[in-house]
């Protein structure tokens, strides 16, 4: 089983859309997927029409009940919580607050919920920034994906994100041995790229020079794997989907 966290220090970069479409793509290939919604806006939970506000992801941090809901074939969800920001604030000075998700998963991986026998992939949609819920997500991840977009300050944002990621890896460590719990691979994925425009082309050229570069997604309004799967009857549809499929395969095969 592999765990992916999708992070960004910028808002409105399409992070949740990538997580959603990636989950649909994996499900279409018969992977069993668990999504953990750590985004304070609960974007993915709302897309899946989960808004009960009880037994949510908050319980991982408050020792309350957490419910795993089936939201589509091969896709289960731990619903997000609009109260997660206040929970994070309360955890600021608590010891080991960055490893609560790690402990919850460890408890439920082979016992209790037996997650390891139910899922092939865990996808975590994090909140913007590096607050405690994001740090918790990084602590359990095999792959961390920084979702980036072609804007004038993109290099600065990428540099800041990488710096904060490295600091996070060092800081989440065993209190006795001081060895880090965290050993994920870090990658940058470009999003909403429109190669018609020179700034997007230059952005991708620069991105490809980075050791952390993995892939990019072209801009396409309201694109979703689900819509494609339901309507892909023409070569045009197939050609439209190919760049997305190729990008998802690169994420899936990342080492």
Q: What is the pLDDT of residue 231?
A: 56
Q: What is the pLDDT of residue 173?
A: 75
pTM of this structure? 0.92
Q: What is the pLDDT of residue 175?
A: 59
Q: What is the pLDDT of residue 154?
A: 87
Backbone angles phi, psi at 156, to 5 degrees: -60, -45
CATH classification of the domain holding 244: 3.40.50.300
Q: What is the pLDDT of residue 236?
A: 46
Q: What is the pLDDT of residue 221?
A: 58
* Strands across the sheet containing 121-125: 68-72, 75-78, 33-37, 121-125, 2-7, 143-148, 185-193, 213-218
The upper half-sphere exposure of residue 158, i.e. CA atoms within 13 Å in the direction of its Cβ, equals: 22
Report how many domains make up the chain: 1
Provide the residue range defining the domain that includes 40.
Answer: 2-252
Q: Which residues pair with 122 in a beta bridge?
A: 3, 34
Distance CA 56, CA 79 (A): 5
Distance CA 239, CA 22 (A): 18
Q: What is the pLDDT of residue 110?
A: 87
Q: What is the pLDDT of residue 51?
A: 83
How confident is the chain (255 residues) per 10-residue block, as mean pLDDT? 97 95 96 98 95 92 96 98 93 88 93 92 97 96 97 90 94 70 92 91 94 92 58 55 92 95
């Amino acid at each position: 089983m592999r765990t992916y966290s999708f992070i960004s220090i910028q808002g409105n970069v399409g992070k949740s859309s990538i997580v959603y479409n990636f989950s649909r793509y994996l499900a279409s290939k018969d992977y069993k997927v668990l999504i953990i919604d750590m985004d304070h806006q609960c974007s993915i939970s709302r897309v899946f029409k989960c808004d009960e506000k009880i037994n949510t992801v908050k319980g991982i941090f408050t020792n309350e009940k957490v419910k795993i809901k089936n939201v589509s074939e091969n896709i289960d969800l731990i619903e997000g919580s609009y109260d997660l920001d206040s929970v994070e604030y309360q955890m600021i000075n608590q010891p080991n607050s960055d490893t609560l998700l790690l402990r919850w998963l460890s408890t439920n991986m082979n016992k209790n919920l037996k997650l390891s026998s139910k899922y092939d992939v865990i996808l975590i949609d994090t909140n913007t920034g590096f607050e405690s819920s994001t740090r918790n997500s990084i602590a359990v991840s095999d792959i961390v994906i920084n979702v980036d977009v072609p804007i004038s300050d993109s290099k600065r944002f990428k540099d800041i994100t990488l710096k904060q990621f490295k600091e996070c890896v060092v800081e989440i460590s065993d209190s006795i041995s001081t060895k880090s719990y965290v050993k994920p691979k870090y990658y940058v994925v470009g999003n909403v790229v429109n190669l018609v425009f020179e700034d997007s082309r230059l952005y991708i050229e620069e991105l490809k020079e980075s050791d952390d570069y993995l892939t990019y997604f072209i801009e396409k309004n309201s694109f979703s794997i689900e819509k494609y799967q339901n309507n892909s009857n023409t070569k045009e549809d197939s050609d439209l989907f190919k760049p997305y499929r190729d990008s998802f395969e690169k994420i899936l095969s990342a080492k």
